[in-house]
Amino acid sequence: MNKGYNVSYQETIRADIASSIEALQVQPILFIGSGLSQRYFNAPNWKELMELLVEQCPKLTKRFAHYQQNHKFNGHVNYMTMASEFVEAYQEWAWEIDSSEESKFPTELFEPDIDKNEYIKHIVSDIFKKITDSVEIEHHPLSEEIKLLQSIKPHAIITTNYDGILEHIFPDYQKVIGEKVIRANYTTYGEILKIHGCYQDRKSIILTNEDYDQFNKKKKYLTAKLLTYFAEHPLFFFGYSCTDPNIINILSDIDEILAPEGELIPNIYLVVFDENYSDSKTYPVESLIPINANKSVRIKVIHANNFEWIYKAISENTTSISVNPKLLRALLDRTYKLVSSDIPKRDLPFNFELLLTNISNDDEELPKLFGLTTLNDGQAFNASYKYLLTAVAKQLGFSTWHGAHNLLAQITEETGCDIKATENKYHSEVMTSSESGTHKYSDACIELLRKVKNGEEYTLEI
């Protein structure tokens, strides 16, 4: 336990993270913003990036405060419209540079078919390339925290950052840049989805107001693609604030599907860096994120001034992945091609079609095809403990696992007995690694929880 932290608060958060991961039984998704790049490698935030752009361009002659005044709306500075204003200045500068500055812009930018916003985006790319090239993790002052982040082994990472820092932290993950995220035609594993572009492809960078308008027009396709992630995985936002427009835009598109009646979205966490965190303070475990003047979304929130214990809470409750993400990604890619392209174009012999039928109807057949066998008593075990917590919740009429989790917590509070702590007629834990396991539940557990839900008397048979 880290010194200086509210122990009970940490324990509450850890227990909730464990329950969320246990219920969904999949790897988490990380949604990472500029706050993490700032924390680990001093990358600029929006304001600092615009300041750098003013400093570098001799055509931007006013003090930075002047541009902030001109782009302030409803008390907030709009840095996207500011970037739009800078486009013309950077184009003019590029065409007027003398021989001593020719290296500032590559020669291909002076062809007639080049869009004028590529000059400023080239400089932005150069800023983040220098930051990315300087990344060194082993001797970093926060190297232990970064290593704990690496230990999470998420299903995928989504980011609005331009830099390549995440590619250094997760070197076996494949980056997918900009519109290629939308074009990808299957859900895979081990990817860094760079939805606002990357420094390595200046055209992909979402920077100006016009870029964001175009992005928002296409966002519905991205939202549809990400909705599966948001609905089926624990999702952790790092490096964003509660007022970040990226958070608001994403949540505004998914809340009606994931929380149609203003309910808490139980598997989405916003991790808020709080420099003034104190163990003497009380912190909320939920937050209302305003979407517009009339609507808010309820998600979970975690306050911290150190991310080590949060990374550890996630990684310790996540199934260990021993296979290289590149191999899993290649397997998924090849399987998708087989199903979507190869098989439909061929006449299948009868025995092969029968094999496919068996695989599609029996959960144990596909592992056998890959040489993975199950325990001899696996079928008997599955017949007795056949429900994950999400399935238990569905049997009880809840829309998410949270309802069943709350009933289990109620039993613990009323009886002093934690059903999940032991092997019993209601629950069993299957160890999936030396450190983590899968919790499964029986029909008897469902009947017990139904009594608790209905306010009926019940007796534990432990």
What would the mean pLDDT of 57-77 be, rounded to a whole number? 94
Give the pLDDT band (50/70/90) at residue 340: low
Q: Indicate whether 376 pLDDT > 60.
A: no
Using CA atoms, how far residue 139 sits from 44, 136, 145, 433, 442, in Å, is 21, 7, 12, 30, 49
Query: pLDDT tens-digit profile of 97-146?
Result: 876 676 789 999 999 999 999 999 999 999 999 999 999 998 999 999 99
pLDDT value at residue 100: 66
Q: Residue 182 — pLDDT band, cuts 50, 70, 90?
A: low
- What mean pLDDT is predicted for residues 16-44? 91
Q: What pLDDT is stored for residue 78 in this prediction?
A: 94
Instruction: Tell me which residue has tokens 């899968």.
Output: 438
Domain boundaries, the chain: 7-43+135-316, 46-133, 327-371, 381-453
Q: Is the pLDDT reported for residue 346 higher than 90?
A: no
Which is higher by pLDDT, 306 or 380?
306
pLDDT computed for residue 34 by the predictor: 94
Answer whether residue 454 shows pLDDT above 70: yes
Give the Cα separation of 346 and 156 in Å (integer): 33
Does residue 33 contact residue 161 with C-beta atoms inside 8 Å? yes
More confidently predicted of 363 and 311: 311
* Alpha carbons 169 and 154: distance in angstroms, whole number: 12
Tell me, yes or no, if the pTM score tops 0.75.
Answer: yes
Residue 375 — very low, low, confident or very high, per pLDDT cuts 50/70/90?
A: very low
Q: What is the mean pLDDT of the chain?
A: 84
Helices 245-258 and 209-232: crossing angle in degrees, nearest 10, is 40
**Least confident segment among 80-84, 162-166, 346-350, 397-401:** 346-350
CATH of the domain spanning 7-43+135-316 = 3.40.50
Under the banding of pLDDT at 50, 70 and 90, the label for residue 218 is confident
Cα 421 to chain center, whole Å? 29
